[in-house]
């Protein structure tokens, strides 16, 4: 697919896609790129009902484009746009509560965690063939927590999934055409919860914590059984979308949940399998790493260098991460929700300047929020964030 040649700013020497590719390879681009994760912020900025935003695609498109026109420009469209709720449930594998359905009209979309996976499900996974194991497992679990497919037989379930994936795919195409026309790179071709993390959320914290001691080998082997299928599905969908990047959610793999030894022995093998398969397909894995990952960085250094984006959420010290793994992975982050919601523009600008100077030193850095830009972020703080990349972000030739 031809990439846009439009430059974001007059001083730019690269397109947004060229800039993104450079930082992934840890090369020094013309300037630091900026990504903005605005899904939950946009309806409040655009003053539309959150229920309309999540249920009506035209409202989503109007709201998020208004944010770009009011606050932009920036470089990377962080495309969290689940027009198909069933497809999003399939990717995240949690019970999603939506405004206007399960929540008040102007509430944020939420997740309710409950134990829908049982210990015997590990054994069922281990009996499955590697081919399509991840897809089949997800489909079997869906009726346990997703009302959209509750009570459906196998044929009707697969038909509903295929129809909803096509619906999401067509919407992605329409949405991304507009952003490419503005000159932006698209961040995500496919996104889903990694197998180990899926188990943790499906079992819930306490039962899964017991599993880590009572059946650790089953966890490791079950995650490995799903890993090849997870990677292949990710690659195929990303190719069809035309975006060579897969965002892998690692919500429960941090030291906030498991020990460094458990990470190395139980979670890392399947992660390594998935990451290497995605890289072998000439695509970029984006590891969305919530929680504190500092003690896991030594193990992450085993993954291929200059091929991966490591996305941090504020609990990992990104300045220390620069020293410990910045020579192997592109770092992504890390302006906190607290600063964006409660700070002042000078405070945000000062912190972004520090990130650019220290974490962006020599390249290999994408400026972004620590995970989500909060719904109550101050517009003037987001403008300060945008301003920082063209005020401080240009590298000397």
Residues 58 and 106: their CA atoms lie apart, in Å, by: 17
- Domain membership of residue 2 (yes or no) is no
Give mean pLDDT, residues 341-358.
Answer: 98
Dig out the tokens for 71 from the structure. Answer: 């606050």
Measuring CA to CA, which residue among 117, 104, 291, 290 is closest to residue 219? 117
Q: Is pLDDT above 90 for 334? A: yes
Residues 16 and 139: their CA atoms lie apart, in Å, by: 37
Q: Is pLDDT above 50 for 292? A: yes
Q: Listing from the earlier edge strand, what are the strands of the sheet with 35-36?
A: 35-36, 76-77, 185-186
Dig out the tokens for 52 from the structure. Answer: 């309309």
- Domain membership of residue 196 (yes or no) is yes
Q: Is pLDDT above 80 for 264? A: yes
Residues 6+ apart with CB under 8 A from 217: none
Residues 114 and 201: their CA atoms lie apart, in Å, by: 8
Per the structure, how many domains does the chain have?
A: 1
Residues 142 and 164: their CA atoms lie apart, in Å, by: 14
Residues 38 and 172: their CA atoms lie apart, in Å, by: 16
- Domain membership of residue 6 (yes or no) is no
Summarised one tens digit per residue, pLDDT across range 71-122 is: 999 999 999 988 899 999 999 999 999 999 999 999 999 999 999 999 999 9
Bridge partners of 111, per DSSP, are 96
Terminal-residue alpha carbon distance, the chain: 30
- Domain membership of residue 287 (yes or no) is yes
141 falls in which pLDDT band (50, 70, 90)? very high
Provide the sign of the torsion angle of the four alpha carbons 255, 261, 266, 269, taken in this order: positive
Q: Is pLDDT above 80 for 4? A: no
Bridge partners of 80, per DSSP, are none
Percent of the chain whose pLDDT exceeds 90: 93
Q: Is pLDDT above 50 for 1? A: no
Question: What's the domain range around 373?
Answer: 16-392
How high is the mean pLDDT of the chain? 95
Q: DSSP label at 147?
A: G
Give mean pLDDT, residues 235-239.
Answer: 95
Residues 375 and 39: their CA atoms lie apart, in Å, by: 9
Predicted TM-score (pTM) of the model is 0.96
- Domain membership of residue 7 (yes or no) is no
Burial (0-12, 13-18, 19+ Cβ within 10 Å), 18:
middle
Predicted local distance difference test score (pLDDT) of residue 291? 95
- Domain membership of residue 397 (yes or no) is no
Residues recorded for the chain: 397
Q: Is pLDDT above 50 for 185? A: yes
Residues 198 and 212: their CA atoms lie apart, in Å, by: 14
Residues 6+ apart with CB under 8 A from 338: none
Residues 129 and 108: their CA atoms lie apart, in Å, by: 39
Give mean pLDDT, residues 281-304.
Answer: 97
Give mean pLDDT, residues 207-222.
Answer: 98
Residues 6+ apart with CB under 8 A from 349: 384, 385, 387, 388, 391
Residues 367 and 347: their CA atoms lie apart, in Å, by: 15
- Domain membership of residue 4 (yes or no) is no
388 neighbors 356 (Cβ within 8 angstroms): yes
Phi, psi of 315 (to 5 degrees): -85, -25
Q: How much is the CA Rg of the chain, to the nearest whole Å?
A: 20
User: Which CATH number fits the domain that encloses residue 368?
Assistant: 3.20.20.210
- Domain membership of residue 216 (yes or no) is yes
């Amino acid at each position: 697919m031809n990439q846009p040649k439009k430059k974001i700013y007059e001083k730019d020497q690269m397109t947004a896609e060229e800039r993104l590719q450079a930082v992934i390879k840890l090369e020094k681009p013309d300037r630091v790129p900026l990504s903005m994760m605005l899904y939950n912020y946009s309806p409040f900025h655009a003053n539309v009902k959150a229920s309309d935003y999540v249920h009506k695609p035209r409202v989503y498109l109007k709201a998020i484009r208004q944010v770009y026109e009011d606050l932009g420009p920036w470089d990377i469209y962080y495309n969290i746009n689940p027009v198909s709720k069933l497809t999003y449930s399939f990717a995240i594998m949690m019970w999603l509560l939506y405004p206007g359905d399960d929540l008040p009209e102007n509430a944020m979309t939420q997740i309710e965690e409950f134990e829908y996976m049982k210990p015997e499900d590990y054994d069922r996974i281990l009996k499955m063939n590697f081919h399509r194991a991840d897809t089949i497992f997800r489909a079997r679990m869906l009726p346990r927590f997703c009302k959209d497919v509750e009570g459906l037989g196998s044929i009707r379930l697969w038909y509903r999934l295929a129809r909803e994936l096509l619906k999401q795919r067509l919407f992605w195409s329409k949405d991304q055409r507009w952003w490419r026309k503005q000159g932006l790179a698209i961040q995500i071709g496919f996104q889903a919860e990694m197998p180990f993390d899926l188990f943790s959320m499906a079992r819930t914290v306490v039962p899964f914590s017991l599993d880590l001691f009572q059946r650790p080998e089953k966890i490791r082997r079950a995650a490995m059984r799903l890993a090849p299928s997870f990677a292949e599905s990710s690659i195929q969908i990303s190719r069809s979308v035309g975006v060579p990047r897969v965002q892998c959610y690692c919500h429960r793999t941090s030291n906030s949940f498991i020990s460094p030894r458990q990470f190395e022995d139980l979670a890392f093998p399947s992660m390594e399998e998935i990451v290497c398969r995605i890289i072998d397909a000439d695509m970029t894995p984006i590891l969305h790493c919530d929680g504190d990952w500092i003690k896991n960085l030594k193990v992450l250094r085993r993954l291929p260098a200059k091929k991966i984006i490591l996305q941090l959420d504020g609990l990992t010290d990104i300045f220390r991460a620069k020293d410990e793994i910045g020579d192997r992975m592109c770092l992504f982050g890390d302006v906190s929700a607290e600063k964006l919601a409660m700070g002042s523009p000078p405070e945000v600008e000062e912190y972004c300047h520090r990130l650019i100077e220290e974490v962006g030193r020599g390249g290999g850095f994408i400026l972004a929020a620590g995970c989500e830009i909060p719904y109550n972020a101050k517009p003037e703080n987001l403008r300060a964030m945008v301003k920082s990349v063209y005020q401080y972000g240009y590298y000397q030739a």
